[in-house]
Structure 1
């Protein structure tokens, strides 16, 4: 052990690496690995978190989203593959009109759907900024973050089919910890001009 290292890095009696040199090696490894993308640390919800689970069609989850949007005070960040459900579109426009920061990220392939395009046009005309993906994969999240307090996940797109006909799930999580993580992910996507671009 310690073979091949400079003499001042080796303890002659034990042939072990000295603490100062060990620190230097660790720093070299950290700098050397700086270009690698390491997995993020999983986020655990706080003990006070609450989760509401809604299934479509029986629980009408789209209406729960409308209620969430109607109560927003500061911001609504939506990252969703499908967005056509008229009450949701109306609620987002209303939130924008009362001064809420509303932003949407969606998938470019969905622009081929006339209903999705019409919904996005309505949002755009209301002054809501919209990004679409430039990368080859899908922007397949079904995530909403509201006011650093609530975030959603699940299988449900914000579409009439997702609300009324499909077997879907919507989880509404009231928790500042996971909401902050979801917000940070959304904002990282929002700033990523390589993978996302402004629609219109």
Structure 2
């Protein structure tokens, strides 16, 4: 059986194998996330230091292959989306929520204290009618507030679960395609957008979103059907 060093040297000498290796590395990086840019700079310095040492041509060819392959990650690292923050009553938070709803292609999981902004509710129903899997978790006591859209959403065919305890389901977050997250203090109401001092943060951090997905699924099994 060949050692890793022997395999890398063999790949380094073959253009076709090198391209295939780098293609597979790129696919793997896309699945697992990217190496931070500062770590890449550290590795680049490491390769430069290695070249300054007295090493044979075989080892140099392996170092060059690894360095070239790691550079594949660099463009992706630059494109990592920064979190965005929006504040009411000035910045129309509801428009950012609607934007994420309309961009969604597969699923929307909504976990909010209350929903009474018809502009958002209509977009949620449109997403459901487009065939997206839409689920809503909300607080039971807010169902009876004037203007609550929960029953309307439920009667439109959307799955709804409610808190069945004496306490509150006070989360305010939504997950879109399990890839994007909105969270913050903002309730999905007209008052939150027009008058209250609220905030939302839009995130695309896969690790963080995974935690919210876990919490949502746990609540979904614990809460009662509407």
Partners in 2 of 1:91 and 1:50 — Cα distance?
Answer: 25
Residue matched to 1:176: 206
| Equivalences for residues 9-158 of structure 1 within 5 A | 48=80, 50-116=82-148, 119-158=149-188
Residue 152 (structure 1) shift: 1.5
Root-mean-square deviation (CA, aligned residues, Å) is 1.4
Residue 53 (structure 1) shift: 0.3
Partners in 2 of 1:87 and 1:159 — Cα distance?
Answer: 9
Residue 56 (structure 1) shift: 0.2
Partners in 2 of 1:190 and 1:70 — Cα distance?
Answer: 23
Post-superposition CA distance 1:81-125 (Å, at most 9, x none): 021111110010000000111110110110220211xx1122112
Give ranges in structure 1 of 5+ residues lacking alignment.
1-45
TM-score (norm 2): 0.63
Matched, 1:198 2:211: no
What SS does structure 2 have at the residue aligned with 1:136?
coil
Partners in 2 of 1:125 and 1:86 — Cα distance?
Answer: 15
TM-score (norm 1): 0.71
Whose strand proportion is higher, 1 or 2? 1
What SS does structure 2 have at the residue aligned with 1:78?
strand
Higher CA-based Rg: 2
Give ranges in structure 2 of 5+ residues lacking alignment.
1-34, 37-79
Stretches of 4+ moved more than 3 A in 1?
Answer: 46-49
Q: Determine which structure has greater relative contact order: mean sequence separation of CA pairs < 8 Å that are 6+ residues apart, divided by chain length.
A: 1
Whose helix proportion is higher, 1 or 2? 2
What SS does structure 2 have at the residue aligned with 1:162?
helix
User: How many residue pairs are counted as aligned between the two chains?
Assistant: 149
